[in-house]
């Protein structure tokens, strides 16, 4: 200790002491504070504290549209509700909507677009905990159903083409619905993909675990992982939306390029 004491008047002594103090305080605080996502708990086991935090967050951010008791917003005379009832939607719905930034809804439009999440992971779990406490509903899926490595890409592809491709396109690149609505391009994390299937957000239909089992959902996730990750073997994928982009390129690059070359060919050399 004597050797350190010799440096007490060093010009860096004060910054070093402050840094040490910060480290002690920070680690000490973290050690004392209970962690929100403890690994020894299942994804749908929430603490009373989380539920309470969730309720406060809900009242501050969601109740204006979804009602103070989450039973739905008030009608404004012509039968339209400002926000549907959340009774029974389950933790999965909240984790999806809030986790993908769709909720809280920023502006009205044909549907809620995906945006940067506005709540932290802990706050999202708290909100999920609160809504899950209101009534039973679809829960957040366990990790083992979300691992693409364990899924069968071929099975997933078949299921995807029959159940999903008509809205989301053969590789999940999105498509149009009626009246300005759309099925978005799928590039979400496996947990959100699973939750979307099981909760049927907005106009997306529900795919219950009884009909499309968790293994089959995992197969779909594996297929999507493959579709998004694998490079297009033929070159640039041109959006992978089919013949429309191919035709556009054929005209612009192909005919455009050939006309330019023809003009060069016919022009007088200098």
Please give the residues from 184 up to 243 whose contact with other proteins meets the rule CB under 8 A.
Answer: 200, 202-208, 210-212, 216, 223, 226-227, 230-238, 240-243
Residue tagged 């299942």 (tokens)? 42
Which lies closer to other proteins via its Cβ, residue 25 or residue 261?
A: 261
- The CA angle 188-181-153, to the nearest 5 degrees, is 35
Q: How far is the CB of 183 from other proteins (least distance, A)?
A: 7
Residue 183, beta-bridge partner list: 175
Which lies closer to other proteins via its Cβ, residue 51 or residue 227?
A: 227
Integer angstrom CA distances of residue 143 from 44, 132, 193: 12, 19, 13
Integer angstrom CA distances of residue 82 from 77, 94, 95: 11, 17, 20
Q: How far is the CB of 223 from other proteins (least distance, A)?
A: 6
Q: Pick out residues in 28-67 that bind other proteins (CB under 8 A).
A: none
Return the residue of 51, 167, 191, 220 that touches other proteins, per CB under 8 A: 167
161 binds other proteins (CB under 8 A): yes
Q: How far is the CB of 263 from other proteins (least distance, A)?
A: 4
Q: How far is the CB of 64 from other proteins (least distance, A)?
A: 21
93 binds other proteins (CB under 8 A): no
Best CA proximity match to 89, nearest among 184, 198, 210:
198
Which lies closer to other proteins via its Cβ, residue 126 or residue 140?
A: 140
Q: Which residues are CB-neighbours of 249 under 8 A, at least 6 positions away?
A: 238
Give the separation between CA 171 and CA 241, rounded to whole angstroms.
Answer: 8
Q: How far is the CB of 228 from other proteins (least distance, A)?
A: 12
Which lies closer to other proteins via its Cβ, residue 144 or residue 181?
A: 181
Tokens of 178: 């009626």
Give the separation between CA 238 and CA 248, rounded to whole angstroms.
Answer: 10
105 binds other proteins (CB under 8 A): no
Return the residue of 97, 124, 169, 188 that touches other proteins, per CB under 8 A: 169
Q: Pick out residues in 248-267 that bind other proteins (CB under 8 A).
A: 248-251, 253-255, 257-259, 261-263, 265-267
Alpha helices by DSSP H, 44-103: 48-61, 63-66, 90-99
Backbone dihedral angles phi then psi of residue 37, each to the nearest 5 degrees: -100, 70
Return the residue of 132, 156, 217, 221 that touches other proteins, per CB under 8 A: 156
Which lies closer to other proteins via its Cβ, residue 119 or residue 175?
A: 175
With CB under 8 A as the contact rule, which of the stretches 9-17, 19-27, 53-61, 156-164 interacts with other proteins?
156-164
Q: Which residues are CB-neighbours of 172 under 8 A, at least 6 positions away?
A: 160, 164, 185, 186, 187, 224, 227, 228
Tokens of 164: 């999903």
């Amino acid at each position: 200790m004597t050797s350190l004491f010799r440096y007490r008047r060093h010009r860096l002594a004060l910054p070093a002491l402050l840094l040490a103090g910060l480290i002690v305080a920070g680690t000490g605080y973290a050690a004392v504070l209970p962690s929100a996502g403890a690994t020894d708990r299942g994804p749908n086991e929430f603490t009373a504290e989380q539920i309470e935090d969730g309720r406060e967050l809900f009242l501050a951010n969601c109740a204006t549209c979804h009602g103070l008791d989450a039973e739905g917003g008030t009608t404004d005379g012509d039968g339209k509700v400002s926000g549907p009832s959340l009774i029974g939607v389950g933790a999965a719905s909240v984790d999806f909507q809030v986790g993908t930034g769709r909720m809280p809804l920023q502006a009205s439009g044909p549907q809620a677009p995906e945006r940067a999440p506005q709540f932290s992971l802990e706050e999202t779990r708290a909100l999920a905990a609160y809504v899950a406490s209101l009534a039973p509903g679809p829960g957040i899926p366990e990790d083992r159903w979300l691992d693409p490595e364990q899924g069968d890409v071929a099975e997933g592809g078949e299921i995807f083409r029959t159940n999903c491709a008509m809205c989301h396109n053969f590789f999940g690149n999105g498509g149009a619905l009626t009246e300005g609505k759309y099925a978005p391009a799928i590039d979400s994390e496996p947990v959100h993909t699973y939750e979307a299937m099981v909760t049927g957000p907005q106009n997306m239909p529900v795919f219950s675990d009884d009909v499309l089992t968790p293994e089959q959902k995992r197969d779909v996730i594996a297929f999507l992982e493959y579709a998004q990750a694998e490079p297009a073997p033929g070159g640039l994928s041109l959006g992978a939306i089919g013949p429309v982009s191919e035709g556009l390129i054929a005209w612009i690059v192909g005919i455009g390029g050939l006309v330019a070359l023809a003009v060069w060919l016919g022009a007088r050399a200098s």
